[in-house]
Amino acid sequence: MKKTALNILFIIVLNTFFLQIALSQEKSIAQRVDSVLNLMTLDEKIGQLNQYNDDWTATGPVTIDTSKARQIQSGKVGSLLNCMGTERTRSWQKIAMQSRLKIPLIFGQDVIHGYKTTFPIPLAESCSWDLEAIELSARISATEASASGINWTFAPMVDIARDPRWGRVMEGAGEDPYLASKIAYARVKGFQGNKLGETNSVMACAKHFAAYGAAIGGRDYNSVDMSDRLLLETYLPPFKAAVDAGVATFMNSFNDINGIPSTGNKYLQRDILKGKWKFGGFVVSDWGSIGEMINHGTVKNGYEAALSAITAGCDMDMESRSYINNLAQLVKNGKVPVALVDDAVKRILKKKFELGLFDDPFRFCNSEREQKELNNPDHPIAARDVARKSIVLLKNQNRLLPLSKEIRTIAFIGPLVKAVNQNKGFWDVEVPGVDSSYVVSQWEGLQRKVGNKVKLLYALGCSIEGDSKDGFGEAVNIAKQADVVILSIGERRDMTGEAKSRSNINIPGVQEELLKALLTTGKPIVVLINAGRPLVFNYTADNAPAILSTWWLGSEAGNAIADVLFGDYNPSAKLPITFPLSVGQIPIYYNHFNTGRPALSDDNRFYTSSYNDLSIWPKFEFGYGLSYTTFQYSNLHLSKKKLNYNDQIEVSVTIKNTGRYVGEEIVQLYLRDIVSSIARPVEELKDFKKLKLEAGQSETIKFIIDREKLSFYNQQLQWVAEPGEFDIMIGASSRDIRLKDSFELVE
């Protein structure tokens, strides 16, 4: 008995000794990881691959488990998600510090578009095409989250989405691989800051790997059927951009691709991500997605699911408990080489070292810093700036906007005028102990803007859904008393987001009928469309004189909208996703092929690739967005008309602000490969520049075209540029091409 106690004491002393050596800061991270790994039992290794939800909110089925603390104490958990605040994270971390090897926990959270300060939903923010503003919004989100105990965000979502029925379009950067890649890069840089290990950096997570946005029929979690070329050329580039930006982690996805669930997909995770792209971080499953492979029908039980996922390269199991329950047995049975487990553990430990958690497991648990950053006065200023930049001016007949300073009475009508939390959109974070009093509603924003100089009248009009028109009378009545009407309509914020697919993407309820009733007053009407996806609103688009797409703009929504209404900010945003004319056109996107019988206009549908009963054109195209001023494009000049393989062409174009307001223009460069060995899109965005011009000012901007911009995956899936002619188009949108030229690539 006495001897056993002595033995145990000896082992503890020895372990502590080795752990100290392991943690010695002198060593490189790789050496420190190895020395910790050497101390670990198989069960402790598998524990590092296990992630649990805290006992709070969840986006999937939670296993009720009162033994979490005990499991953490015995080294069976590597990370927790949905655990927020310095107090709460500190208390779990303390428990982890009671485990034999004292390996700290990582705390993950969906910080998708802000933590306390809520920024516009990612799709909205992407309308700004403003990479600096987007990076700053991620930077601030990371600063707040990291001050509140979080060290890992499950963002950015970089899924290309061409189907607005899919509720998760709101989380991404739209339909175009070039723009989405630039935005993915900026977001990763923003979240991770200068480097992991600074206390205001969090690990980013590129998700959902891969092609989750191509779910058939826009139904969430649905299957994906896709050619390798489309995958490589359209759906993977934003993920590659995230790797180039140094993203620390990846999340795989719920969908199967061509029958293989992404979670068990070796081609994606081992061959492409960890092989070809040399990704050194770790991959987490999506919520329960390892276990869900049983439903996919590709594995029989948790044992096979764990085998499939670890073999395919999925390192951490989010909430399916497949690893914790089966991996040890798989290793013992010789089905999984321990080297595979070791590789996954090393990847996770490496990040824990890089985050500095081994040096100080409580470095993200400073409550003073938490209070300071959650109340940092600079954050709402940045949120207001990017919110203004996210508002898209869709229509502005007779220059109704900006509103005249002469206006004396405004009728502000609609179910979203006085809403508060709606403005935060889906995937906002409910920070413990923080109420929503800091969110600026649209009503409050307008009130603050006009003070007592303008009389503001309010009516609800109708609700978002439902068919009651009882409020129409009052709304029409106040409209009659006003100089101008502002009508705020759209979706509820939880009509987009995860598991929020819709087959009908019209503006719900009787909201467009309310507009019809208000139009009978003859008053000028500005419509604000609040939504998380492109909606169909043809009546509004055809009849309202002015329309702003305000999406969900976050905690500064009211201020940002008021700034734009009164011209204190001149809208500059452009759509990163096509707005269809009807659900029947979906999927619709600008960079499609020409086909053998191209539909070039609605006047000639005779045996062309068109609908007999519907236009070929969307309501608002990719890249579209107006300004209060006008821009003239001229002097397109190419430095040469023949491009040698390793050479470049310098393209210059002059942009002039020909209107009365200072404004920003997003100048877009599209290319088309005229003849190639496989069909190529009719146009592809290959560059853009956002520039600010005073009224009357002009500037000449430059773009560079090189072979990379002309390359594509050929029939053998090799990345090549083929000699021949290319069209170059400079436009204010994908349809509004202002200047065109061509050049030749020669061998």
Q: Looking at the annotation, which residues are catalytic?
A: 286
**Nearer of residues 55 and 706 to ligand BGC, judged by Cβ:** 55
Q: How far apart are CA 502 and CA 533, in angstroms?
A: 10
Q: In the complex, what is the shortest distance from the CB of residue 721 to ligand BGC, in angstroms, rounded to a whole number? A: 36
Instruction: Tell whether residue 563 is a contact of ligand BGC (CB under 6 A).
Output: no
Q: 106 to each of 25, 68, 316, 362, 377, how far by Cα in Å? A: 20, 15, 12, 11, 28
Candidate list 21, 60, 363, 686; residue touching ligand BGC; CB under 6 A: 60
Beta carbon of residue 283, minimum distance to ligand BGC (angstroms, whole number): 13
- Find out whether 670 and 737 touch, Cβ atoms under 8 Å: yes
Q: Are 215 and 170 in contact (CB under 8 A)?
A: no
Q: Is 470 exposed, middle or buried (0-12, 13-18, 19+ CB in 10 A)?
A: exposed
- C-alpha–C-alpha distance, residues 173 and 176, integer Å: 8
The site that binds ligand BGC (CB under 6 A) totals a number of residues, namely: 9
Kindly state whether residue 432 participates in binding ligand BGC, applying the rule CB under 6 A. Answer: no
Q: Which residue shows structure tokens 């293989």?
A: 260
Q: Which is nearer to ligand BGC, 118 or 610 (CB)?
A: 118
Coil, strand, or helix at residue 595?
Answer: coil
User: Is residue 59 near ligand BGC by the rule CB under 6 A?
Assistant: yes
* Interacting residues with ligand BGC between 65 and 84 (CB under 6 A): 81
Question: Residue 197, interface with ligand BGC (CB under 6 A)?
Answer: no
Contact between 724 and ligand BGC by CB under 6 A: the answer reads no
Q: Name the nearest CA neighbour of 239 among 268, 196, 201.
A: 268
Smallest gap from residue 320 Cβ to ligand BGC (A): 12
Nearer Cβ to ligand BGC (122/415): 122
CB 309 within 8 A of CB 293: yes
User: Under the criterion CB under 6 A, does residue 207 sit at the interface with ligand BGC?
Assistant: yes
Residues 6 or more apart whose CB falls under 8 angstroms from that of 462 comprise 415, 468, 469, 470, 471, 472, 475, 509, 510, 511, 513, 514
Ranges within 260-289 binding ligand BGC (CB under 6 A): 286-287
User: Residue 285 CA to chain centroid, in angstroms?
Assistant: 18
Pair of tokens at residue 198: 């600074």
Q: Which is nearer to ligand BGC, 51 or 657 (CB)?
A: 51
**At its nearest, how many Å lie between ligand BGC and the CB of residue 275?**
24
Of the candidates 580, 594, 417, 445, the residue with the CA atom closest to the CA atom of residue 504: 580
Nearer to ligand BGC, 429 or 560 (CB): 429
* Binding of residue 256 to ligand BGC (CB under 6 A): no
Kind of pairing between the strands at 484-490 and 546-549? unpaired
Nearest to 241, CA basis, from 290, 314, 172: 172
Task: Tell me, residue by residue from 135 to 154, as one string, x for binding to ligand BGC by CB under 6 A and - for no binding.
Answer: -------------------x
Residues contacting 685, CB < 8 A, separation 6+: 176, 178, 179, 591, 622, 623, 668, 669, 670, 734
Q: How far apart are the first and last CA of the chain?
A: 83
Measured from the CB atom, is 83 or 489 closer to ligand BGC? 83
- Please, what is the minimum distance in Å from the beta carbon of residue 345 to ligand BGC? 22
- 110 touching ligand BGC, by CB under 6 A: yes
Tell me the closest approach of the beta carbon of residue 254 to ligand BGC, in angstroms. Answer: 6
Instruction: Return the number of the residue (171 or 556) whose C-beta is nearest ligand BGC.
Output: 171
Q: Scanning residues 482 to 541, which ones bind ligand BGC (CB under 6 A)?
A: 498
* Shortest distance in whole angstroms from residue 157 CB to ligand BGC: 7
By CB under 6 A, residue 712 contacts ligand BGC: no
Residues at the site binding ligand BGC, with contacts judged by CB under 6 A: 59-60, 81, 110, 154, 207, 286-287, 498
